[in-house]
Amino acid sequence: MATQPSPRRGCPVPSTLEISSSESGAALLVTVLILLVVSILGTAIVNMGQVDYTLSSNYRSSIMALNLADSGLQASAADLRADYYADPTDNWLVNWLNVGTMPPSVPTPFPDATGTVINGFTLGPASLSPNPYPGTPYDLGGASALGTGSFTRTIWLPPTVTIENGTPVVNIRVRSTGFDGSVATPANATIDGVVAIELTDSSPYSTGAFLGAGDGGGELIRGGPVRIAGTVVAIGVPSGNGTRLDMTNGSSIVNNYNGIDGASALSSLSAKLPPLDTFDSNGETVENLGAELRLKDVTTLMSRFGGQLGEPDATGDGYKETLDGVYTDASIGPYTDNIYADIVSSSDLADDLVFPSLYAAYTDPNTGIDYPTFTDFLDANSYQPITGGDLTISSAMAAFDLVDPAGNGAVSWDPSTETLTIDGIVKIYGTIYFGDPSIPGGDTLAAINYDGTGVLWATNDIEITKDVYPAGSYLHDGPDLDSEVDGNLGLIASDEIIVGGRGRGRGRGRGRGEPPGTSDSNIQILATVFAEKRLRVESPANIAGTVVTNAIKVNPRASLNIWHVPSLAGGAPNGMPVGIMIADIEVAISNWFQRR
């Protein structure tokens, strides 16, 4: 049996226990190191998370503050709009602007607005140093709470008025600062912007024709044809058969001045009128009256061969043919082939928009005085140069120069130059005659040329048998330094305005049994025309300006062209019924930026 060799003496035998302890210590060391690293990394991650959370919270808070500041701007616009509609006769617009003109103007000096209340928020002095903008800063109320924060607002007055695409815009500088308190250190953000308030003038003089309840059985146009270049607004009567706009007699509504000189007996009627603005339409620069048909409680009658709304679109002629829109709450028909409009939609006329009757209550926007009727306003602000009776402007009328010592008006006539000068409001208790067809052999006047700015008001009728137009251009600026344009005549008849030689002549005793007088064959009238009852046309005529009446009656042997002058929207003579009425306000924020 073999024998195992003995280990050499002096050579140690390795211990299994000793080897295991050494490796375990190394593993422990490594584990501790790993735990240390993991702990450090975990702490770092936690710290980074806390930093990220803090940054995220602060960022969220700053965004909230920015949103709160933006809400303050939007609230300012909403408050201005709401305050206007709460009382259209006594609001910031009336207090801060002269609304008796269009565009509205800013009074000088501008009044201190401290204490003005806008939709429940009171204006108070704002402490800003330095003041970054022209004008006076006012705090609009105090801090307004919203969510977890709040906003404060400052506005600068006076506002400025600009014209954008022919529309007046009131610009009010506003600053809004938002505060968010959802974090330990509240965030804030400041936004500066402009509340741009677009004013839509719904006065009758922003139209070519503003029509009321109709004539007889509710007809807005009887006889014809009538061609209206410009917007037509008609406010009918909803009861019974209602009010009807009869286009079947060949009447039309167009959107341009095409044919104006050919229709006129003047060598160039358009040369006396202010030039039209131009707009881009389908890539073409065109003249555009912005003509629309806007109807409330009015049925429109169209026939296959008579009547037209707008014209087929054409290119290269410099005109816009189609109407900008047709808006009605009643039927149009039975034929609609002759409707050419960019939009055909339901009526959007305000419920409180009514025909501006001489017998409706009126508040003077310049003084705030309430009058039982507009006639009462005219009585209080007019000059009556003739104790009683009519006024005749003719070749047989001797020269006169009448001036009101109280300053309400003046009127003069020079037959040698055929010039009528008018200023203010002149009342004639009776009938006004432009031309006298009863003169043996006929009135030799070539035309009645007027100068100045004013209104002639007849408590009966106005009869026109001669041309009536400005000595210079219509709505031109004269040599005087007043704020009104010259060459600007308004005509008001409490009953009828009769164009042509077949008027009743109530004031002079001419009755229906007497033969009609003579008149020009194509009468030209450049004026703002208001007739409470109707405009009656017995001879072919052109009226450049605006016609406001309950109805139009045209002799079948005659015709009428109405050419709207857009400048009248802000330039109708003071004293015309409801000359300026702001009925709609569109509000937007412009020039928005965050202040750092």
pLDDT tens digits for range 142-151? 999 988 899 9
Query: What are the residues whose beta carbons fall under 8 Å from the beta carbon of 314, sequence distance 6 or more?
Result: 321
Q: Are residues 370 and 427 in the same domain?
A: yes
Residue 434 lies in a domain: yes
Range of weakest confidence among 49-53, 180-184, 248-252, 402-406:
49-53
Strand partners, 432: 391, 462
Is residue 166 over pLDDT 90? no
Indicate the pLDDT class of residue 513, thresholds 50, 70 and 90: very low
* Nearest Cα residue to 455 out of 425, 485, 421, 487: 425
50 three-state secondary structure: helix
% of the chain at pLDDT higher than 70: 85
Residue 34 lies in a domain: no
Parallel/antiparallel/unpaired status of strands 488-493 and 448-458:
parallel
Q: By CB neighbour count within 10 A (0-12 exposed, 13-18 middle, 19+ buried), where does 461 fall?
A: buried
Parallel/antiparallel/unpaired status of strands 284-287 and 226-229:
unpaired
Residue 173 lies in a domain: yes
pLDDT per residue as tens digits for the range 27-37: 878 888 888 88
Residue 307 lies in a domain: yes
**Domain boundaries, position 324:** 204-345+356-580
Token pair, residue 336, equals 């609609």
Q: Are residues 159 and 214 in the same domain?
A: no
- What is the domain count for the chain? 2
Answer with the residue of higher pLDDT: 168 or 366. Answer: 168
Residue 20 lies in a domain: no
Query: What are the residues whose beta carbons fall under 8 Å from the beta carbon of 142, sequence distance 6 or more?
Result: 152
Q: Are residues 242 and 263 in the same domain?
A: yes
Is residue 423 over pLDDT 90? yes
What whole-number distance in Å separates Cα of residue 540 and Cα of residue 557? 8
Within 13 Å of residue 87, how many CA atoms lie on the same side as its CB?
Answer: 13
Q: Are residues 280 and 371 in the same domain?
A: yes
Q: Are 501 and 548 in contact (CB under 8 A)?
A: no
Q: Are residues 531 and 588 in the same domain?
A: no
Range of weakest confidence among 114-128, 166-180, 216-230, 516-530:
516-530
Answer with the residue of higher pLDDT: 42 or 256. Answer: 256
Q: Are residues 589 and 554 in the same domain?
A: no
Residue 7 lies in a domain: no
Range of weakest confidence among 100-109, 243-252, 337-346:
100-109
Q: Are 371 and 377 in contact (CB under 8 A)?
A: yes
Q: Is the peptide bond before 186 cis (omega within 30 degrees of 0)?
A: no
Mean of per-residue pLDDT scores for the chain: 84
Q: Are residues 554 and 445 in the same domain?
A: yes
Q: Are residues 94 and 179 in the same domain?
A: yes
Q: Are residues 159 and 246 in the same domain?
A: no
Predicted pLDDT at 276 = 86
DSSP class of 322: S
Could you give the strand order of the β-sheet that contains 298-302, starting from the edge strand earlier in sequence?
A: 243-246, 298-302, 332-334
Buried b (16+ CB within 10 A) or exposed e, 371-404: beebbbbbeebbbbbeeeebbbbbeeeeeeeeeb
Q: Are residues 338 and 321 in the same domain?
A: yes
What whole-number distance in Å separates Cα of residue 548 and Cα of residue 535? 9
Range with top average pLDDT, 178-187, 288-297, 343-352, 445-454: 445-454
**Would you put residue 500 in left (φ > 0), alpha (ψ -120 to 50) or beta?**
left
Give the mean model confidence (pLDDT) for residues 541-548: 96
Predicted pLDDT at 258 = 92
* pTM given for the model: 0.73
Q: Are residues 486 and 473 in the same domain?
A: yes
Is residue 504 over pLDDT 70? no
Residue 26 lies in a domain: no
Is residue 596 over pLDDT 80? no
Predicted pLDDT at 579 = 57
Q: By CB neighbour count within 10 A (0-12 exposed, 13-18 middle, 19+ buried), where does 136 fall?
A: middle
Q: Are residues 185 and 230 in the same domain?
A: no
For 48-143, strand residue ranges (E) read: 117-118, 121-125, 136-140
Is residue 57 over pLDDT 70? no
Residue 568 lies in a domain: yes
Is residue 483 over pLDDT 60? no
What whole-number distance in Å separates Cα of residue 420 and Cα of residue 415? 8
For 59-186, strand residue ranges (E) read: 117-118, 121-125, 136-140, 144-146, 149-157, 160-164, 167-180
Give the mean model confidence (pLDDT) for residues 419-431: 95
Predicted pLDDT at 36 = 83
Is residue 100 over pLDDT 60? no
- Residue 334 phi/psi, 5-degree rounding, is -80, -15
Answer with the residue of higher pLDDT: 482 or 258. Answer: 258
- Residue 28 phi/psi, 5-degree rounding, is -65, -40
Q: Are 558 and 519 in contact (CB under 8 A)?
A: no
Indicate the pLDDT class of residue 519, thresholds 50, 70 and 90: low
pLDDT per residue as tens digits for the range 170-216: 999 999 999 998 777 778 899 999 998 887 666 788 899 999 988 87
Cβ–Cβ contacts within 10 Å for residue 349, how many? 18
* Nearest Cα residue to 530 out of 304, 294, 242, 204: 204
